[in-house]
Amino acid sequence: MVYLLKFEAPEIAEKVQPGQFVILRVHEKGERIPLTVCDFDREKGSIDLVFQEVGKTTKLLGRLNVNDFILDVIGPLGNPSEVEKFGRVVCVGGGVGTAAVYPVARALYQKGNELLNIMGARSAELLILEDEMRKVSNSLYITTDDGTKGHHGLVTDVLEQIMEKEKIDRVVAVGPAVMMKFVSRTTQPFNVKTVVSLNSIMVDGTGMCGCCRVSVGGETKFTCIDGPEFDGHLVDFDELISRLNMFVEEEKAALKTLRV
């Protein structure tokens, strides 16, 4: 299941910018997880987070009801997205990554860029924020792995077709690491600046734990304080994917402790 969680956080809503994230903890014994802010309302003092139930913490979040509380929410964290008038921009959202790319696409659209946006998911039922993305797109392309909606295939199929026909000035991609890897590989021959967000590897979010180390251009960077966005052509995605898989067994064990 994919959820949208809207809650009051006036101090965060006042300052947050597209591309930034929060770190939250459901209860005092819970783990800290990063979630990119999908939307915010400065007047009402609220922020929106989108998440998919995968592990123990996201399942706990999915059990929250109206008027429930989250113990800790820290933010806004990370560097905001670079939002300027670049020209013709493609924003690519894969799965729940669409929620993270949406505020960036909206800000770029409001700056006067021409937005050719791509949304991808495994199937039509897992597509999110389609109406919101359409409002900030000059053209919106949809892909599904199983062909239940839009192009039957990958986001990179459509991206390559667009780049062969149009001069693209910038690409922004947020989604699974393997998707961002191949988006970056697709854009590299065209020499188009490609920005990716690596927030899924973060833990502490403040630069203290060092768990979010990534290699960018041969240098070690901390995703939480140097990012979360980086030049996709410089990211060592193979190392990133390897490190993301390090705690799979521990995550499975934690999930088994969740009471029904």
For the stretch 25-47, pLDDT in tens is: 888 887 888 888 999 999 999 99
What is the SS3 assignment for 60? helix
Read off the pLDDT of residues 203-250 as tens digits, 9 standing for 90 and up.
767 777 777 888 999 999 988 889 899 999 999 999 988 877 776 666
Residues 146-155: pLDDT tens digits? 999 999 999 9
Whether 248 is covered by a domain: the verdict is no
Residues 149 and 57 occupy one common structural domain: no
Confirm whether 255 is domain-assigned: no
Helix axes 177-187, 237-244, angle to 10 degrees: 170
pTM here is 0.90
Q: How far apart are CA 87 and CA 109, in angstroms?
A: 10
Print the domain residue range for 68. Answer: 2-77
Whether 180 is in a domain gets the answer yes
Question: Does the pLDDT of residue 74 top 80, yes or no?
Answer: yes
Residue with tokens 């180390």: 213
pLDDT (tens digit, 9 = 90+) per residue, 172-195?
999 999 999 999 999 999 999 999
- Say what the pLDDT of residue 9 is: 92
Regarding whether 92 and 66 lie in a shared domain, the answer is no
